[in-house]
Amino acid sequence: MALDRYATAVERTIFNWYFGGENAPVEPVFNTLQMGIRHGMQVYVPIETPDVLARMLGDPEKLKAGDTYTCGQEVPIRFRHIAEDPEGNYLIPVFTSQEELDKGESSSVINQTFGDLIKALDRWPQCQGLVINPWDKRMILTKESLEVVKRHVPKSHISFVRGSVLDLHVDAIVNAANKSLLGGGGVDGAIHRAAGKELLQECRKLNGCETGEAKITGAYAIRDVDHIIHTVGPVYSGKNRDADLLSACYWNSLEAARQNGCGSIAFPGISTGVYGYPLDEAAVVALRTIVRWFEAHKETVMNVYLCCFKDAEYEAFMRLLQ
């Protein structure tokens, strides 16, 4: 488990940033880091051996100044260094969760707020910055990029992703369901298979869902997702009402996410599969609605991922953006 939900959010945005590949935007990561700074996000920071720490704690006065950190009371602690070069420049490793920590060599750690840690870096000229989760999906933040993070104003953001909603680590994924909410083909089938039988059990209690509405459940066996938001898109008919209903799906899903404290949500192309909504038309509705929702909820920071399972869906968004 991560130490707190802000650290989980950072871990998730970094995962998604890797998944997005070369051109993936970094804003979602900066959003979660800045939110972490604002809310006292706790991270794990490896320190020197317990013996050394014990000695330090025993007689703090005898410690030399220098590479130490004062943590609350007068307890100097030396952080572990990583990637030290011949000139003695180094990075400090930082972990968002015990799982990330356990992927590499063991070490004693202390809990530290991310904000205090980056403030302290100014005192260490040879420290070049931090490496978040160095053992796996690492993110190196030099002192310069940390300055950018410190000044970053978090705001809602849309990322376009080639892949399935099930590829991402987010607080909520959206399911393009049918009115019964009891499973089906397409993304609905994939989500039910991944979440397991318990999802169906919870869905049975929901008494279905009207077109354009959204209902939330747990994510069960889908480990890196907290909630599933089930929405029912319109079957494309070519009438004006289609767009209103499709728009309601995006709006109501975002509302369900916000009301349940989610800071990230992944959408499939609702109605663009079995329900036959033309991709270019659906892309306009999706994008307009999400942007309108952002405008209406300026106080909320939501990292939205629009997942394009088919290349044609991604291309429709790119045409629209041009």
Asked if 267 interacts with ligand AR6 (CB under 6 A), we say no
Task: Give the whole-angstrom CA distance, residue 218 versus residue 228.
Answer: 6
| CB of residue 195 to ligand AR6, shortest distance in Å | 13
Burial class, 118, CB count within 10 angstroms (exposed 0-12 / middle 13-18 / buried 19+): buried
Q: Of the candidates 3, 273, 285, 286, which one interacts with ligand AR6 according to CB under 6 A?
A: 273
Rounded to a whole number of angstroms, the minimum distance from the CB of residue 322 to ligand AR6 is 21
The H or E element spanning position 177 is strand 170-177
Judge contact between 306 and 160, C-beta under 8 A: yes
Please identify which residue in 177, 229, 246, 306 interacts with ligand AR6, judged by CB under 6 A.
177
263 in contact with ligand AR6 (CB under 6 A): no
What's the closest the beta carbon of residue 230 comes to ligand AR6, in angstroms?
A: 10
CB nearer to ligand AR6: give 115 or 268.
Answer: 268
CB of 185 to ligand AR6, least distance (A): 4
- Burial zone of 140 (CB within 10 Å; 0-12 exposed, 13-18 middle, 19+ buried): middle
> Does 233 interact with ligand AR6 (rule: CB under 6 A)?
yes
| Count of residues near ligand AR6 by CB under 6 A | 22
Q: Interacting stretch for ligand AR6, rule CB under 6 A, among 16-24, 44-52, 73-81, 180-188? A: 180-188
Question: Least Å distance between CB 194 and ligand AR6?
Answer: 9
3-class state of residue 30 by DSSP: helix
Pick the binder of ligand AR6 from 63, 120, 148, 274 (CB under 6 A): 274
Question: Of residues 181-200, which lie at the interface with ligand AR6 (CB under 6 A)?
Answer: 184-188, 190
Give the Cα separation of 181 and 69 in Å (integer).
Answer: 54
- Beta sheet of 139-142, edge-to-edge order: 90-94, 127-132, 139-142
Considering only CA atoms, which of 90, 94, 89, 69 is closest in space to residue 81?
Answer: 90
251 binds ligand AR6 (CB under 6 A): no
* Helix/strand number for the chain, H first, E second: 11, 13
Instruction: Kindly list the residues in this chain that would bind ligand AR6 in the complex (CB under 6 A).
Output: 164, 176-178, 184-188, 190, 233, 268-275, 309-310, 313
